[in-house]
Chain A
């Protein structure tokens, strides 16, 4: 088996014109994941760069998951949940909103492009919106290039 270290992968990505970003998406089970499912059933086409991780609620997402994802080499992270006031667990997304407001400001302050960490509200009936969110996020991250900050190479 041929193992490639993250450092080598990054070097390859930089020189490769066909580089496609790898984006980790934390999708809340009740709204965003269902919305994504609806997008699939409706056969709406959107870029395949997103890797979905299903969580019960956007409030479940520890801000450090976002930091770890960036450290492991994700080119971008998307966290998406129910609209405020519609959380299946009543207030989970409200907690998440505060956490991610601070996290995004902090990461952008220390020099990590703010467009690498994106947050959105997508409800279960918004299949089209999910496709638009993924398309928009993928375009932004493609423009930024491969992840080169915080990435662990050893």
Chain B
């Protein structure tokens, strides 16, 4: 990873010096351990800030969308001959490139408005997993060396096997190398444990209906409607979210558990065929709601019903935006 970091900084410096991009969205060392911060660099000297390691958790495609759209809005009253284009560079791992593919398919911006710097990925560290393994003690410092992670906590030092703290979605990721890119830094990452991808979903499907409902309501009771999941998700980019609409009013903002359940059902259903399983929503959720269990089911249905994975290729459009005469219709009721 250190090699990749060095090369990444060089490439970024070159892109900015040649003025091929206006801004590069990447990760920089954060102020807290176990986490890097997204950063936006505009000068070649700032390229030294960029990092690429196991603490880079947030899916950066969200920022690309925000930057390009803010720029477009600022250009609305500018004369056509004076309009400028803003080109955004992005440090993109596998799932991030899938989000970019989804944005491109949904015509949010043109392929020429983004420069994709592909990086290989073997997963990021999930803070909640670390917290469980350190008995909830606050982590003061953390570093990764090969297969182990060393943590310094308030209650002593610990060595943890890296595979025990990598996020669930990363462990079984089938797309940990960039799908599209303008340049690839370093060599391709080795494949993750792809076979276990739908194990949890398959197990959950074996439970009885009452058990499934009990689990769903238990998880949704934790939700405090902070909307961090919505804010972190790159596929959630609507200017006016359905939650904020009052005509029609899709979901209430009150205390009733049914409101929270309906909000989550609706938000997750909006992700049908568009969720790239980047894990950002789970990382940012303050209450640890098990969103992945339900989102992964939508992903599985996309594969089984429509032979589609979110953002896997620019030529394969989102499943709900198209149709085939031969689509399965076993669910249709025939008396």
Contact = CB atoms under 8 A, between A and B. Distances in A.
Interface of A: 63-64, 67-68, 71, 84-85, 91, 94-95, 97-113, 118-121, 129, 132-133, 135-137, 149-154
B236 to A, nearest CB: 16
B323 A97 contact: yes
Contact of A109 (B204, B261, B272): B204
Contact of A111 (B216, B272, B301): B216
Given A94-B325, A98-B327, A133-B333, A152 B209 contact: no
A110 to B, nearest CB: 4
Contacts, number: 119
A120 B332 contact: yes
Interface string B199-226: 0000011000111111111000000000
A134 B297 CA distance: 30
Nearest to B262: A71
B319 interface: yes
Contacts of A103: 269
B331 A101 contact: yes
A63 to B, nearest CB: 6
B320 interface: yes
B79 interface: no
A119 B332 contact: yes
Interface of B: 204-205, 209-217, 242, 250, 252, 254-256, 258-259, 261-262, 265-266, 268-269, 272-273, 294, 297-298, 301-302, 305-306, 319-320, 323-325, 327-329, 331-335
A61 B210 CA distance: 28
B331 A63 contact: no
18 contacts: A67-B262, A67-B269, A71-B258, A71-B262, A84-B329, A102-B273, A105-B301, A105-B305, A105-B331, A106-B297, A109-B204, A109-B294, A111-B209, A111-B213, A150-B261, A153-B256, A154-B254, A154-B255
B301 A102 contact: yes
Nearest to B242: A64
Nearest to A100: B331
A98 B320 contact: yes
Given A98-B327, A106-B272, 15 more contacts: A63-B269, A71-B262, A94-B323, A95-B323, A97-B327, A101-B327, A102-B298, A102-B320, A105-B305, A106-B297, A120-B334, A120-B335, A121-B332, A151-B258, A154-B255
Pick the most buried of A102, A129, A153: most chain B CB atoms within 10 A of its CB.
A102
Nearest to B302: A102
B320 A111 contact: no
B237 to A, nearest CB: 19
A68 B250 contact: yes
Given A98-B306, A154-B256, A111 B331 contact: no
Given A98-B323, A101-B328, A153-B258, A137 B214 contact: no
Contact of B301 (A64, A106, A129, A151): A106
Contact of B297 (A85, A109, A129, A151): A109
Contact of B335 (A135, A152, A153): A135
Given A109-B205, A109-B212, A109-B297, A152 B266 contact: no
A111 B211 CA distance: 8
B209 A136 contact: no
Given A101-B328, A154-B254, A106 B269 contact: yes
Contact of A152 (B212, B258, B273): B258
A149 B332 contact: no
A10 to B, nearest CB: 12
A86 to B, nearest CB: 12
Contacts of B331: 100-101, 104-105, 119
